[in-house]
Chain A
Amino acid sequence: MVLKARELSHYGPSICVKFHGDYVVAGYGVFVQVYEVLSGKLVNQSRVFHNNKVHGLCVENGLFLAYGARSVSVVPWQAILSSKDNSKLEKMCPEWVTSAEFSFDGSAVYLLTSYNKVLCCDLELEVLETRVVYGERAILYSGTITVQSAEKVHINAGTVMDGVFIWDLFSEKNLHHFTGHEGSIFYVTASKNGRFVASCSDDRSIKLWDLESGSLLSTGWGHTARIWNLQFFDNDTKLISASEDCTCRVWEVSQLTGQLTQTDVHEIHLSKNVWGLDVDSRRMIAATSGNDGRIKLTDLRLRTRAGDESQAFSIDDISRCRIDFAANEIVKGFFWLHFGLVVLTSEGQVLKYSDQNSVWSSIFQNQKFKSFSSTTGVQKLNLVVFSNGSGDVLIVKFSQDGTQVLNTLEIAVTELSKVTTCLVESFDGELFIALQSPNPRDALVCVKIDSAPLKLTEKYHLTRPANFNASSILYHDNFLLFGSKFSTLAIFNLRESETSAHVLNRLLPGDTITSVRFVEKSSNDRSLFSVTDREGFYCFVSIDLNNGDSDIVLENKISKGFLEGAFYDPSGDYITYGFKSNYFVMFNETRQFEIMSELCGGSHRQWLFLPNYDPNEFVFVYVKASRINIRKLHSSFVPQTLRDGLHGREIRDLTLRPASYNTRTHVFCSGAEDTTIKLNRIKESGEARTIWTFRKHTSGLQRCKFVSDQYLISSAAREELYLWKLCTDFKSNPYMSIIAVLPTSTKLPDLRIMDFDVKFIENSQDFILVTVYSDSAIKLWHFEHASQKFALIAIGKYETCCLLNVALIPLKETLLLLISPSDGYLVAWDVTKCLNINLRNGKLQDWKPNFSLMPILPDYATRVLVHRAGVKSLQVKSANGSSCLIYTGGDDNAVAISEFAVEEDELSIKGQVLSSDTAGAASTITAVNLLNGGKGLITASVDQRLRYYDVTKNQLTLQDVFYTTNADTGCLDVVSTATGSLLLIGGVGFSAWSLRDVKK
């Protein structure tokens, strides 16, 4: 049998991206991906290099030129569009290729190397001549080649230590040496018109130079981290920059003075590093690619493309439409209907603005709504609702085009002394208006109104729970749900409106609930709601509406700012909106990018955010500086991402849920250096998609592991360890939430929990957990499912070093605790007696902690020196009842199989190394995993190789070596599929592989 391994997909750093006609061409690992710009469709993925990443590319005259590291290739463009593998054309350059371009007539190729040397080659990459500035040796971090004409080619060279050199290819003379930057030059480029050179360096500034005189024209400050790329666009009148700070910024280039002025900032990528950047000046869209593996399109005319995106009106502007205003009359409220805006003023005047013909008109005036008024409405029913402090409610229904008022209804609710809140909901042509007074003893008065014709049909007096102040409303299936202050949710059954509400207290950590939305109903009759609070938290709560029984299946926090609401969009992405300092921001929480932002001045002003016509069109209305501002977001004319990545930083651990999620679909979690944990879905075809990004850990993520189909544990620095519960009851998505947190040893914990293991108690959801720490501590815990709490049951210590891995191994009647410290040993304890536990045939019997004194682990039973440095990864296989096999990979490049056994007398434990490969990799082996029911072992190492061993005879027999594009290869996990195994590899990026045993 041989193992057939095939890479299914790769999500990782993309270093270059370029527009070519109606295509976007991106380097993606060893591949080139070609997308259709308008549809976002992947036209082809073609392998161009064997091992090296594509760092740059150009397409001209039907030829495609790619370079990366020491590789370079010229491929017919048609072959890139149609062939999956063009790597046979790859050529090797003796030096790192910094940049490459076709010559002016396309008959030659220029390769700029990191030694500031240009190899002039023919199209077969035969070197015709080498050009260099004699006597001037520089090492380059960056460089570009400007081909102006057949006679004029400039080399823009960015050095490591010595600023920027601009030299002429043919005269081999330096034209300029710019030394104004501090530190290494990370990018340098020239404008097409030959007037400017732009450069950026480790000093985080952009400098614009006059190519003719060599003088510095201006310096642009703005980026808060290193800048990696610069491109002139729009006839050299603008410059765009991309940075480690995850933004790209647009700069106006003054043609007169060469002054750089920052005009726009786009937040485009996940944590750290945007590498690739290009602009389609005709369509005015930017393409960026980064370390997160995302290829993003950004509309540079998001605010001006249709022309109606931003409008603003002062009272003076409106009065020009022959509308009279009293002195000091101001806007008090507004609502957006499909025809445009309806406004209520401080004089009770109702105005409408027709969006179609841009005309304001006054509809009527009602003195009752002069003061303490509120304005809301229902878009679907084309009506607005005004209310005042005395309980008067006025409903105005418009014709579809807004030209006519079809109907009005005025109601007086006299039961309330004063009305301060009016909330409106609708369902199926019925309107619900809830009025609330500041007196907590007053009922919440709710009227039900038939919308055609407007007619009051029912009135409810709902008893307010204690500490309740409604801030949001939802009607669902004869229930009214109110979100309130103190993060409380009250559920009223309208069929039995006299009975008191089911109250869910402290649903979220924040205060005011800003939105409640229905998501779906499960097969077991539980309803799922999405709830947001202003402090930035959101949750999904599963509720049995009939008895109020509830379960939070997901709780999370947005990265920054205040949250005013969230919803699933038609494609299933979860969209949030709210305020971030002075901005209103709409964010795609599923795919983690900003959709739009508006500098509105912050959350304390009057504002309104609603859909506009289409489910992908939105309008944000706000008052700023006494003007009504209408900001529209049209549906994007190009896809916002061409490819979604995963983490922007190194993935530290990956874990696949043992059971599949759907047919040929699995879920897995990834934890990364960016401290987030992501819950992702992956098809057996390799297509992966992130569903949730959790920001719970604060630093140094170490491990995440599914310990059963339902539970996951993650650990990090600061003694953080969370127990998560996965919920797969709903169709929309899998959900996950923390159900227990491990207690820390001090108030300011500074230890890392390096690893943990779990052993469930037979026929129970309780389990024993062991944790190992960076200060050599070992702790054992009991998790009680009923109370959802961890109790410390034993403590121990091994020498003074960092403990890297741990396993709990039941052997017959013995529970073995095995650790691997940074000293290369495997160390074993028998913890059966110390914990006073019972095992039968390796199964942990019913047990509860019952000690008067906290047990301390005795001296270890035995230890075996397996590695010459820290053991990075450890896997356990039970051999027979009384012994187990331990597979380890180490920092010493070695992989080993050891055996630990309980002796017949059950009194002693013996360990020995069975097999070891001391040259198991060229560098650290970071992960080992068993395959095929323990017949095979796969290892991953930092030399970017996967090695497959046959271990059937407890000997390591190397079968095969595979290359992986993921640098800093750090973790892997495997799950069985119908056809073999699905293997996930994490590092900088992530790959999925299919592994299959085939007959020779």
Chain B
Amino acid sequence: MGKSSKDKRDLYYRKAKEQGFRARSAFKLLQLDEQFHFLDNVTRVVDLCAAPGSWSQVLSRRLFEDDPENAASKRIVAVDLQPMFPIDHVITIQADITHPKTLNKIMDLFEGEKADFVCSDGAPDVTGLHDLDEYVQQQLILSALQLTTCLLREGGVFVAKIFRGRDIDMLYSQLGYLFERVVCAKPRSSRGTSLESFVVCLGYKPPTNWKPHLDVNMSVEDFFQGCEIGRLTLDDKLPEYHEEARSIADFILCGGLDSFDSDATYHDIPANSITLDPVQPPTNPPYKRALELKRKGQLTRST
């Protein structure tokens, strides 16, 4: 698909370029916030798996441009394993979200105060093995969640990208133990044909007898031991197959019916309009060398 046909097929792609966002996903956070107002009156926010940075851009606009008061005390920290281009008012850290050092760094930047809001729009590359892809995505969410439990204030909000697959109701159930309300929200800017949605967790309320503790030698499963969130407990004997706790979260469509439909084709592009270049050019894929070889005709069938 060329740039201009993508403009027509995907209105949010075009809007993102017009408004200087690095990716169309910026609208997803904007529409989620429109529904839940979780970015009103927040001071310290963390954006996990932040690259290329469109959610950080939204956070920067909402916290600083829309509401310039108390700018001095406000902090936005964006974390990713990949390097990111700088964004106004955002402190970017290139680090692993599962590492205790990352937590310490963020807590230093917050001067010991806890965060009001943590979000993650991260997703792994899909392999095509649906069960593996779903598992890896849930591990990513749980990795984000374990860091979140260490730095979110009680009553704070956690938002993460999910794919509504086979075991999503197990995740809802687990999150239900840590938050007052768990909602599955789908912004209108997220395609109806995609399984993507966002889990919005409101009112953080950790169990009183549980102290989260990040340790480099602990898996996510180890981390949540002792915190009754309905996950398997580590035992000497592998348990027999049993159905695990599941619950269906409320579904909310965000962005209102008057906002644009990401699945619709729009024709209202002026005939003489210039096709804008993407704000953030695509990054180097790992298979760049293979593409070059293919282009040169060196990956052929003949041996």
Report whether B192 and A943 are in contact in the complex, using a CB–CB cutoff of 8 Å: no
Residues of B within 8 A of A203 (CB): 286-287, 289-290
Q: Which of B46-54, B60-68, B84-92, B164-172 touches A?
A: B164-172
Report whether B164 and A942 are in contact in the complex, using a CB–CB cutoff of 8 Å: yes
Residues of A within 8 A of B168 (CB): 922-923, 943
A291 to B129, CA, bound (A): 9
CB distance from B292 to the nearest CB of A (A): 10
Q: Does A92 contact B (CB under 8 A)?
A: yes
Tell me the A276-309 residues at the B interface (CB within 8 Å). 291
A672 to B98, CA, bound (A): 39
Taking a contact as CB atoms closer than 8 A, the residue among A126, A263, A800, A967 that contacts B236 in the complex is A126
Q: Does A71 contact B (CB under 8 A)?
A: yes
Residues of A within 8 A of B71 (CB): none
A132 to B221, CA, bound (A): 15
Contact A90/B240 with A160-B124, A222-B299 known, Cβ cut-off 8 Å? yes
Taking a contact as CB atoms closer than 8 A, the residue among A53, A71, A161, A892 that contacts B241 in the complex is A71
Q: Does B132 contact A (CB under 8 A)?
A: yes
Report whether A750 and B186 are in contact in the complex, using a CB–CB cutoff of 8 Å: no
Contact A92/B238 with A751-B265, A775-B266 known, Cβ cut-off 8 Å? yes
Contact A774/B237 with A750-B5, A893-B251 known, Cβ cut-off 8 Å? no
Report whether A891 and B186 are in contact in the complex, using a CB–CB cutoff of 8 Å: yes
Taking a contact as CB atoms closer than 8 A, the residue among B131, B135, B217 that contacts A134 in the complex is B217
Report whether B130 and A967 are in contact in the complex, using a CB–CB cutoff of 8 Å: yes
Taking a contact as CB atoms closer than 8 A, the residue among A50, A92, A186, A824 that contacts B232 in the complex is A92
Taking a contact as CB atoms closer than 8 A, the residue among A69, A94, A115 that contacts B131 in the complex is A69
Residues of B within 8 A of A822 (CB): 192, 261, 263-264
Q: Does A870 contact B (CB under 8 A)?
A: yes
Q: Does A275 contact B (CB under 8 A)?
A: yes
A752 to B184, CA, bound (A): 28
Q: Does B128 contact A (CB under 8 A)?
A: yes
Report whether B165 and A869 are in contact in the complex, using a CB–CB cutoff of 8 Å: no
Tell me the A801-830 residues at the B interface (CB within 8 Å). 801-802, 804, 822-824
CB distance from A182 to the nearest CB of B (A): 4
Tell me the B228-268 residues at the A interface (CB within 8 Å). 231-242, 246, 248, 251-253, 257, 260-261, 263-267
Report whether B294 and A92 are in contact in the complex, using a CB–CB cutoff of 8 Å: no
Report whether A892 and B253 are in contact in the complex, using a CB–CB cutoff of 8 Å: yes
Q: Does A499 contact B (CB under 8 A)?
A: no
Taking a contact as CB atoms closer than 8 A, the residue among A15, A93, A868 that contacts B129 in the complex is A15
Report whether B131 and A182 are in contact in the complex, using a CB–CB cutoff of 8 Å: no
A100 to B74, CA, bound (A): 50
Residues of A within 8 A of B130 (CB): 967-968, 988
Chain A minimum-CB-distance residue to B249: A922
Tell me the A93-144 residues at the B interface (CB within 8 Å). 93-96, 113-115, 117, 119, 121, 124-127, 132, 134-135, 137, 139, 141
Contact A87/B238 with A52-B131, A892-B253 known, Cβ cut-off 8 Å? no
Residues of B within 8 A of A226 (CB): 127, 287
Report whether B164 and A943 are in contact in the complex, using a CB–CB cutoff of 8 Å: yes
CB distance from A994 to the nearest CB of B (A): 23
Q: Does B37 contact A (CB under 8 A)?
A: no
Tell me the B280-303 residues at the A interface (CB within 8 Å). 285-290, 293-294, 298-299, 301-303
Residues of B within 8 A of A124 (CB): 237
Q: Does B125 contact A (CB under 8 A)?
A: yes
Q: Does A776 contact B (CB under 8 A)?
A: yes
Report whether A205 and B264 are in contact in the complex, using a CB–CB cutoff of 8 Å: no
Contact A121/B267 with A221-B299, A922-B248 known, Cβ cut-off 8 Å? no
Report whether B195 and A869 are in contact in the complex, using a CB–CB cutoff of 8 Å: no
Tell me the A582-632 residues at the B interface (CB within 8 Å). 582-583, 599
A205 to B288, CA, bound (A): 11
* Majority-rule SS of A interface residues: loop
CB distance from A497 to the nearest CB of B (A): 49
A751 to B130, CA, bound (A): 29
Taking a contact as CB atoms closer than 8 A, the residue among A115, A224, A776 that contacts B219 in the complex is A115
Contact A50/B241 with A224-B299, A822-B261 known, Cβ cut-off 8 Å? yes
Q: Does A184 contact B (CB under 8 A)?
A: yes
Report whether B290 and A802 are in contact in the complex, using a CB–CB cutoff of 8 Å: no
Say which size band chain A's interface belongs to: 35 or more
A749 to B265, CA, bound (A): 11
* Majority-rule SS of B interface residues: loop
Chain B minimum-CB-distance residue to A125: B238
Contact A244/B239 with A224-B299, A802-B192, A892-B253 known, Cβ cut-off 8 Å? no
Report whether B301 and A265 are in contact in the complex, using a CB–CB cutoff of 8 Å: yes
Report whether B186 and A869 are in contact in the complex, using a CB–CB cutoff of 8 Å: yes
Q: Does A264 contact B (CB under 8 A)?
A: yes
Report whether B286 and A183 are in contact in the complex, using a CB–CB cutoff of 8 Å: yes
Report whether B238 and A127 are in contact in the complex, using a CB–CB cutoff of 8 Å: yes
Q: Does A207 contact B (CB under 8 A)?
A: no
Contact A870/B124 with A126-B236, A135-B217, A943-B166 known, Cβ cut-off 8 Å? no
Contact A127/B251 with A201-B286, A802-B261, A922-B164 known, Cβ cut-off 8 Å? no
A141 to B124, CA, bound (A): 11
Interface centre among A203, A204, A968 (most CB of B within 10 A): A204
A868 to B267, CA, bound (A): 26
Report whether A221 and B261 are in contact in the complex, using a CB–CB cutoff of 8 Å: no
Q: Does B114 contact A (CB under 8 A)?
A: no
CB distance from B158 to the nearest CB of A (A): 20
A868 to B188, CA, bound (A): 11
Taking a contact as CB atoms closer than 8 A, the residue among A137, A139, A184, A892 that contacts B217 in the complex is A137
Residues of A within 8 A of B287 (CB): 182-183, 202-204, 226
Taking a contact as CB atoms closer than 8 A, the residue among B81, B139, B301 that contacts A114 in the complex is B139
Residues of A within 8 A of B251 (CB): 868-869, 892-894, 918
CB distance from A80 to the nearest CB of B (A): 17
Taking a contact as CB atoms closer than 8 A, the residue among B8, B221, B261 that contacts A801 in the complex is B261
A806 to B170, CA, bound (A): 35
Chain B minimum-CB-distance residue to A73: B241
Residues of A within 8 A of B192 (CB): 802, 804, 822, 869-870, 891
Report whether A95 and B241 are in contact in the complex, using a CB–CB cutoff of 8 Å: no
Report whether A221 and B298 are in contact in the complex, using a CB–CB cutoff of 8 Å: yes
Q: Does B274 contact A (CB under 8 A)?
A: no
Interface centre among B232, B260, B265 (most CB of A within 10 A): B265
CB distance from B203 to the nearest CB of A (A): 21
Chain B minimum-CB-distance residue to A115: B219
Taking a contact as CB atoms closer than 8 A, the residue among A94, A160, A224 that contacts B221 in the complex is A94
Residues of A within 8 A of B72 (CB): none
Q: Does A326 contact B (CB under 8 A)?
A: no
A201 to B301, CA, bound (A): 20
Chain B minimum-CB-distance residue to A918: B251
Taking a contact as CB atoms closer than 8 A, the residue among B128, B216, B235 that contacts A273 in the complex is B128
- 1/0 contact string of A911-929 vs chain B (CB within 8 Å): 0000000110111100000
Residues of B within 8 A of A968 (CB): 130, 195
Residues of B within 8 A of A221 (CB): 290, 293, 298-299
A275 to B128, CA, bound (A): 10
Q: Does A773 contact B (CB under 8 A)?
A: yes
23 contacts between A and B (CB under 8 A): A55-B132, A69-B131, A115-B221, A124-B237, A127-B237, A135-B216, A184-B286, A221-B290, A263-B303, A273-B128, A583-B301, A750-B265, A802-B264, A822-B263, A823-B257, A824-B253, A824-B257, A892-B251, A894-B251, A923-B165, A942-B164, A967-B130, A967-B165
Query: 19 additional contacts, CB 8 Å, given A135-B217, A922-B172?
Result: A90-B241, A92-B238, A96-B132, A115-B219, A127-B237, A127-B238, A181-B286, A184-B286, A204-B287, A223-B290, A273-B128, A750-B9, A774-B263, A802-B261, A823-B261, A894-B251, A922-B169, A923-B195, A943-B169
Which residues of A are in contact with B by a Cβ distance under 8 Å?
13, 15, 49-53, 55, 68-69, 71-72, 87-88, 90-96, 113-115, 117, 119, 121, 124-127, 132, 134-135, 137, 139, 141, 160-161, 181-184, 186, 201-205, 221-224, 226, 244, 262-265, 272-273, 275, 291, 582-583, 599, 750-752, 773-776, 800-802, 804, 822-824, 868-870, 891-894, 918-919, 921-924, 942-944, 967-968, 988
